[in-house]
């Protein structure tokens, strides 16, 4: 059995926060595959289903981010699972928006949800980090992670989550590098297409039209030259 834990904060107030991208990922997997309706257990919302022929428990801790390990640890003890049977999905400040990284073990990187998981579940579980970008200065970090995704984020966010949901069975088969390649191609491929869209050029004009549009030389209205031109061409309108 595999537990896939999406991390976030409960409640509508936090639903679209960058910090809740783990919840969003769990919801995307739930929508795409044949999982049971969400129910409450282990201080969390849980749902059971199958991916790649193996039983999977989706879990969204309802303890708030900083205590995520309490819920996930309780579920792991109930099912007698080891850290290797856990995949945690969460936001990563130090990755550009839309980028993803998956590895086993490592530090918490200052992420309180992961610090809690490490304390309650052990450290040798797989960590799927989804990039939300860094605001640039430490003072803006809290506002950034607890702020909603911008409208400009929606394209890459939907692509990332839907591609992850489509290929969630790779998490069961531990095809980690292949999954990372699929996520990267989905997000970067879209960006490349947008960059390659040709700029709209003004409609081409014929040589005759261009010639007509050129400024015509101004003829003298008075003086000897004007009198000469009148004798040659006559006065227009006479």
Is 79 among the annotated ligand-binding positions? no
- In this structure, are residues 169 and 51 in contact, taking their beta carbons and an 8 Å threshold? yes
Active-site residue identified among 19, 134, 144, 209: 19
Is 125 among the annotated ligand-binding positions? no
Distance CA 106, CA 75 (A): 22
- In this structure, are residues 18 and 154 in contact, taking their beta carbons and an 8 Å threshold? no
Q: Characterise 42 by phi-psi region: left (phi > 0), alpha (psi -120 to 50), beta (else).
A: left
Is 9 among the annotated ligand-binding positions? no
* CA distance between the termini of the chain: 101
- Would residue 33 show up in a list of annotated catalytic residues for this protein? no
Q: Characterise 99 by phi-psi region: left (phi > 0), alpha (psi -120 to 50), beta (else).
A: beta
Is 64 among the annotated ligand-binding positions? yes
Query: Six-digit token pair at 112?
Result: 């309180």
- In this structure, are residues 75 and 58 in contact, taking their beta carbons and an 8 Å threshold? no
- HEC states along 175-195? CHHHHHHHHHHHHHHHHHHHH
Helix (H, G, I), strand (E, B) or coil at 48: strand
Annotated binding site for tRNA: 14, 64, 66, 112
Catalytic residues: 19
Annotated binding site: 14, 64, 66, 112
């Amino acid at each position: 059995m595999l537990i896939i834990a999406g991390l976030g904060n409960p409640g509508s107030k936090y639903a679209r926060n960058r910090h809740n991208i783990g919840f969003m990922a769990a919801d995307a997997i739930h929508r795409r595959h044949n999982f049971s309706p969400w129910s409450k257990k282990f201080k969390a919302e849980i749902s059971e289903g199958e991916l790649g022929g193996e039983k999977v428990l989706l879990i969204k801790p309802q303890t708030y981010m900083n205590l995520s390990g309490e819920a996930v640890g309780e579920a792991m003890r109930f099912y007698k699972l080891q850290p290797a049977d856990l995949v945690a999905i969460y936001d990563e400040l130090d990755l550009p928006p839309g980028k993803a990284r998956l590895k086993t073990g490592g530090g918490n990187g200052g992420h309180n949800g992961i610090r809690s998981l490490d304390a309650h579940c052990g450290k040798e579980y797989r960590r799927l980090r989804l990039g939300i970008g860094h605001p640039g200065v430490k003072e803006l970090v809290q506002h950034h992670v607890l702020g909603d995704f911008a409208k400009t984020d929606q394209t890459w966010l939907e692509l990332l989550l839907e591609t992850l949901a489509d290929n969630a069975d790779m998490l069961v088969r531990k095809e980690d590098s292949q999954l990372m390649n699929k996520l990267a191609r989905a997000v970067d491929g879209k960006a490349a297409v947008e960059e390659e869209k040709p700029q709209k050029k003004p409609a081409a004009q014929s040589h005759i039209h261009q010639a007509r549009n050129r400024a015509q030389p101004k003829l003298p209205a008075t003086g000897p030259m004007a009198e000469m031109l009148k004798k040659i061409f006559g006065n227009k309108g006479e």
